Amino acid sequence: MTDWHRTDITAGDVRLATYQYGDTVHSDTAADARPAVVLVHGWPDTHHLWDRIAPRLAEHYRVFAYDTRGFGESDRPNDVPSYRLAGLAQDLFAVISSVTDGGSAHVVAHDWGSVQTWEAVTTPGAETSISSFTSVSGPNLDFLGEWARAQLASPTPRSISRALSQVASSAYTGFFQIPGVSDAFFRTLGTEKLWTEFLHVIEGTPRENVSFAPTLREDMISGLKLYRANIRGKLARPEPRPTSVPVLEVVNDRDIALRPAIYDRTYTHAAKLWRKSSTTGHWLPYTNPDYLATTAIEFIDSIENGTSRAPNTIDRARQLGAPLALTGKLAVITGAGSGIGRETAYALAALGCEVVLADIDTAAADETATECKSMGVLTNVYELDVSKTAAVNEFAENIRTRHGVPDIVVNNAGIGLGGSALDASDDQIDRLIDINLRGVISGSRAFAKQMVARGTGGHIVNLASAAAFTPSRELGLYSASKAGVLMFSESLRAELATHRIGVSAICPGIVNTNITSATEYAGVDDQDAMRRKVTGFYEKRNYTPDKVAREIVAAVVSNKAVVPVTPEAKFGYRVYRFVPWASRIAARQKLTG
């Protein structure tokens, strides 16, 4: 791109091609008081990796990049020892000193650029040169070696599985260690066309997003020295050092080379650590540059000013101990003032989620919020009537503006309606459908649009019911509303699969919540007596909503499609699928006497 302006610097005996993005060249830095950001690429890229990110960053900061040694227009030492991390870290310090006139800079780095920046930030005194570090798809090799040893020191099925998963993901590095073979491979196949197709097939990277230097083949080959100079020594004899530089780890759950588990011990060495994860792949700067640019801007602003531009997604990403399963995620729960919604809020908060609690009864939601806040997570309460589509759409936009796009949405709000379908009033039917079905559809659509636009996945949970597949003469209308939720969820799951957005339909059976105390019964004269009777039965059954919440969390983590909850729901689901005639016969029985 023509907006990169080159100036060469010298680091030791290596010449480094250094670039500034935009109209201002290095001589003008004294007049530009904006913070400096240095971008560091990995293998087999050059500074062009940042072509789609630099313009966004340049709206707020002075933006620099450089071709690391062995790549692009920088020098290419022939010997392997020249590519050891200690020397690469000194290269970074030299670039920062040059472009800031001896000042400091924020660093955003990817792949081997991140690996060498980790070496730099764990160098004593690094905090005087590096203001913050956004790490993408590149671990500290000493931390990685320590993690691997910990998995094998006290082997369990889980630790062995995690270690083997990472070994399988990193198997290619063994091939890269063989000079003659791997060099010949890339000399033959290291073309821009093939590499573009590789990224497109493996990660879905838009072909138009990639930006390679004319030196791609040479970069691939000389860059192999990074693997030969560092991996075996670091993993065999790890020497982890601490850092006080603020670090944001951007963890890609679908990274083909690096499993998320390898970052679990970073907190033991990084005193100021944040962590954001998403269902993205290794080459995030190419695949979703807007997301990475936004994330980096929010983090840098938070370090510079103590807060970031709204919406603030960084505060919830602060990691104060071992990472929880959902650290840094934002969850929205409707009907959060009681029952399943309340317990789901508790369960998600316990796993590190910031929670947004919505309910028509804000006093009840405030009670839920008190417990969530006691777990140390950010919590906000909103009044919401899910039966009103315009209100749901306005709510979703408010959440996006104030808190960011949710990672998890739980459409839980619902009501009951029993009795004869023939005796129900039109108003009762309208209210039932508006809340139970239309409310779920509205919430799913509003937030799914945001998730698709963001491009980093997400998960939507819709509360259906065992009634969705258990016909009953006394629950026909309620069953219809929940069957609609189930089929809508299954269909939406198919629609959103290409965007890596999961959709789960949760189908509880008889669960002891307060829905029974507010349920109306069409054709029944003594409503209170019927409610007492049904509520008493549910209380005797005593299947508590916290058990449903655990199933909801499991569905999010494992991306389950349909989740029957309670033994009767699981039994009914199988009966309806395999012997539906038995369900039809059972449906004729009168349950309430």
Beta carbons of 7 and 26 less than 8 angstroms apart: yes
Bridge partners of residue 333, in order along the sequence: 357, 410
Q: CA 500 → CA 326, 456, 495, 496, distances in Å?
A: 17, 8, 10, 7
Beta carbons of 41 and 14 less than 8 angstroms apart: no
* Known active-site residue 478: yes
Question: Around 569, how many Cα atoms within 13 Å sit in the side-chain half-sphere?
Answer: 20
Beta carbons of 309 and 298 less than 8 angstroms apart: yes
CA dihedral for 508, 509, 512, 514, sign (positive or negative): positive
Distance CA 368, CA 354 (A): 13
The catalytic residue among 83, 227, 291, 478 is 478
Secondary structure string (H, E, C) spanning 424-438: CCHHHHHHHHHHHHH
Q: Which residue has the tokens 């588990």?
A: 261
Q: Give Dmax (Cα) for the chain.
A: 93
Closest CA to 107 of 63, 71, 75, 51: 63
Residue 259 — left, alpha, or beta (φ > 0 → left; ψ -120 to 50 → alpha)?
Answer: beta
**Cα angle vertex 343, ends 340, 344, to 5°?**
80
Bridge partners of residue 251, in order along the sequence: 277
Please give the full DSSP string across 97-143, using - where no structure is assigned: HHHHTS--EEEEEETHHHHHHHHHHTSTTGGGTEEEEEEES---HHH
Q: Which helix (H) or strand (E) holds 475?
A: none
Number of Cβ atoms within 10 Å of the Cβ of 423: 11
Catalytic residue numbers read: 478
